[in-house]
Structure 1
Amino acid sequence: MPTQSAIDLAFLDEMPANFALHFLNRVKATPDAEAFRYPVVGSTAPDGGEEWKSLTWKEASDQASRLAAGLVSLGLELEQRVGIASTTRYEWILADLAVMLAGGATTTVYPTTNVEDTAYILGDAECRFVFAEDDGQLAKIAEKAADLPEIVKVITFDGATDGERVIGLDDLAAIGDKYLADHPDLIEETAAKITADHLATLVYTSGTTGRPKGVRLLHRAWVYEGEAVRVRGDVLGPDDLQFLWLPMSHVFGKVLLSIQIACGFPTAIDGRMDKIVDNLSIVKPTFMGAAPRIFEKVHSRIVMMTEADGGIKKKLFDAAFANGIARDRLLREGKPVPAKMALQHAVLDKLVLSKVRDRFGGRVRFFISGSAPLNRDIAEWFRAAGILIMEGYGSTENAAGAAVGTLEENKLGTVGKAFPGSEVKIGDNDELLIRGPHVMPGYHNLPEETAKALDAEGWYHTGDKASIDDEGYITITGRIKELFKTSGGKYVAPPAIESKFAALCPYASQFLVFGANRNFVSALITLDPESITAWGASHGLEGKSYEEIVTSPQVRELIGGYVDELNAGLNRWETIKKWEILEHDLTVERGELTPSLKVKRNVVEEREQARIDAFYAGS
Structure 2
Amino acid sequence: MSDTQTLIENRPPSVATLFLERVAATPDAEAYRFPVPPASGEGPDGWKSLTWAQAAERVQAIAAGLIELGVRPEERVALASATRVEWILVDLGILCAGAATTTVYPQTNADESAYILSDSQSRVLVAENAEQVAKAVERRAELPELTRVVVVDPAGVETDDWVISLAELERRGAARLAEEPGLIKERVAAITKDQLATLIYTSGTTGRPKGVRLPHDCWAYMAKAIAATGLVSGEDVQYLWLPLAHVFGKVLTSGQIEVGHVTAVDGRVDKIIDNLPVVRPTYMAAVPRIFEKVYNGVAAKAKAGGGAKYKIFQWAAGVAREYAKVAQDNFRRTGTASVPFGLGAKHKVADALVYAKIREAFGGNLRACVSGSAALAPEIGYFFSGAGIHILEGYGLTESSAASFVNPGEAYRTGTVGKPLPGTEVRIADDGEILLRGPGIMQGYHNLPEKTAEVLEADGWFHTGDIGELSPDGYLRITDRKKDLIKTSGGKYIAPAEVEGQFKAVCPYVSNILVHGADRNYCTALIALDEAAITTWAAENGMEGKPYAEIVAAPATVEMVDGYVKQLNEGLQRWQTIKKFRLLPRDLDVEHGEITPSLKLKRPVVEREYKHLIDEMYEGTREA
TM-score normalised over the length of structure 1: 0.96
Q: Does 1:92 align with 2:94?
A: no
Deviation at 1:459, TM superposition (A): 0.6
| Conserved? CA contact 1:72–1:102, under 8 Å | yes
Q: Does 1:147 align with 2:149?
A: no
Match of 2:514 in 1: 512
Measured against aligned partners, the alpha-carbon deviations of 1:203-238 in whole angstroms (never above 9, x if no partner) come to 0111122111100001010111111011123x1101
Measured against aligned partners, the alpha-carbon deviations of 1:7-65 in whole angstroms (never above 9, x if no partner) come to 631223211111210111111111111100000123489x9521100011111011110
Match of 1:534 in 2: 536
Q: Does 1:251 align with 2:247?
A: yes
One-letter code aligned to 2:316: A
State the SS of the aligned residue for 2:208: coil
**Separation (CA, whole Å) in 2 of partners of 1:343 and 1:520:** 44
Match of 1:293 in 2: 289
Q: Does 1:271 align with 2:270?
A: no
List runs of 5+ in structure 2 lacking aligned partners.
Answer: 331-336
Match of 1:500 in 2: 502
Q: Does 1:26 align with 2:50?
A: no
Deviation at 1:541, TM superposition (A): 1.1
**Separation (CA, whole Å) in 1 of partners of 2:3 and 2:503:** 39
| Conserved? CA contact 1:7–1:232, under 8 Å | no
TM-score normalised over the length of structure 2: 0.96
Match of 1:436 in 2: 438
Q: Structure 1 residues 294, 550: CA separation in 2 closer, same or farther (over 3 Å shift)?
A: same
| Conserved? CA contact 1:431–1:465, under 8 Å | yes
Match of 1:133 in 2: 128
| Conserved? CA contact 2:65–2:176, under 8 Å | yes
Decide which moves more: 460-469 or 576-585. Answer: 576-585
1:472 maps to which of 441, 461, 474: 474
One-letter code aligned to 1:287: Y
Match of 2:415 in 1: 413
**Separation (CA, whole Å) in 2 of partners of 1:316 and 1:6:** 50
Match of 1:340 in 2: 342
**Separation (CA, whole Å) in 2 of partners of 1:124 and 1:487:** 41
**Separation (CA, whole Å) in 1 of partners of 2:2 and 2:306:** 51
Deviation at 1:311, TM superposition (A): 4.9
**Separation (CA, whole Å) in 1 of partners of 2:555 and 2:262:** 50
**Separation (CA, whole Å) in 1 of partners of 2:426 and 2:377:** 23
Measured against aligned partners, the alpha-carbon deviations of 1:91-134 in whole angstroms (never above 9, x if no partner) come to 11111011011111000110000010000001110111111011
Match of 1:105 in 2: 100
1:604 maps to which of 603, 606, 612: 606
| Conserved? CA contact 1:208–1:598, under 8 Å | no
One-letter code aligned to 1:432: I
Q: Structure 1 residues 320, 592: CA separation in 2 closer, same or farther (over 3 Å shift)?
A: closer
Match runs of 1:130-529 below 5 Å: 130-159=125-154, 160-233=157-230, 235-334=231-330, 336-529=338-531
One-letter code aligned to 2:547: S
**Separation (CA, whole Å) in 1 of partners of 2:273 and 2:172:** 39
One-letter code aligned to 1:353: Y
Measured against aligned partners, the alpha-carbon deviations of 1:162-183 in whole angstroms (never above 9, x if no partner) come to 2311111110011011111111
Measured against aligned partners, the alpha-carbon deviations of 1:458-509 in whole angstroms (never above 9, x if no partner) come to 1110000011111111110110101021111110001111111112112112
**Separation (CA, whole Å) in 2 of partners of 1:34 and 1:520:** 57
Q: Structure 1 residues 607, 328: CA separation in 2 closer, same or farther (over 3 Å shift)?
A: closer
State the SS of the aligned residue for 2:200: strand
State the SS of the aligned residue for 1:428: coil
| Conserved? CA contact 2:61–2:173, under 8 Å | yes
Deviation at 1:618, TM superposition (A): 2.7
Deviation at 1:595, TM superposition (A): 2.8
State the SS of the aligned residue for 2:159: coil
Decide which moves more: 368-377 or 7-16. Answer: 7-16
| Conserved? CA contact 1:43–1:51, under 8 Å | no
Q: Structure 1 residues 197, 311: CA separation in 2 closer, same or farther (over 3 Å shift)?
A: same
Decide which moves more: 188-197 or 321-330. Answer: 321-330
Give the root-mean-square deviation of aligned CA atoms.
1.6
Deviation at 1:520, TM superposition (A): 0.8
One-letter code aligned to 2:429: G
**Separation (CA, whole Å) in 1 of partners of 2:96 and 2:2:** 34
State the SS of the aligned residue for 1:257: helix
Percent identity between matched residues is: 50
**Separation (CA, whole Å) in 2 of partners of 1:338 and 1:596:** 40
**Separation (CA, whole Å) in 2 of partners of 1:260 and 1:552:** 49
Deviation at 1:408, TM superposition (A): 3.2
| Conserved? CA contact 1:306–1:314, under 8 Å | yes
| Conserved? CA contact 1:208–1:599, under 8 Å | no
One-letter code aligned to 1:18: S
One-letter code aligned to 2:365: R
Deviation at 1:536, TM superposition (A): 1.2
One-letter code aligned to 1:253: G
Match of 2:591 in 1: 589
| Conserved? CA contact 1:43–1:50, under 8 Å | no
Q: Structure 1 residues 363, 178: CA separation in 2 closer, same or farther (over 3 Å shift)?
A: same
| Conserved? CA contact 2:522–2:578, under 8 Å | yes
**Separation (CA, whole Å) in 2 of partners of 1:43 and 1:565:** 51
Measured against aligned partners, the alpha-carbon deviations of 1:360-385 in whole angstroms (never above 9, x if no partner) come to 00000000000000110010010111
| Conserved? CA contact 2:304–2:537, under 8 Å | no
**Separation (CA, whole Å) in 2 of partners of 1:147 and 1:336:** 64
Match of 1:35 in 2: 31
Match of 2:334 in 1: none
| Conserved? CA contact 2:287–2:599, under 8 Å | no
One-letter code aligned to 2:618: Y
**Separation (CA, whole Å) in 2 of partners of 1:469 and 1:341:** 28
| Conserved? CA contact 2:38–2:44, under 8 Å | no
| Structure 1 runs (4+) greater than 4 angstroms displaced | none
**Separation (CA, whole Å) in 2 of partners of 1:138 and 1:76:** 20
| Conserved? CA contact 2:114–2:139, under 8 Å | yes
**Separation (CA, whole Å) in 2 of partners of 1:476 and 1:43:** 48
Measured against aligned partners, the alpha-carbon deviations of 1:348-368 in whole angstroms (never above 9, x if no partner) come to 323321111000000000000
List runs of 5+ in structure 1 lacking aligned partners.
Answer: none
What number of residue pairs does the alignment pair up? 613
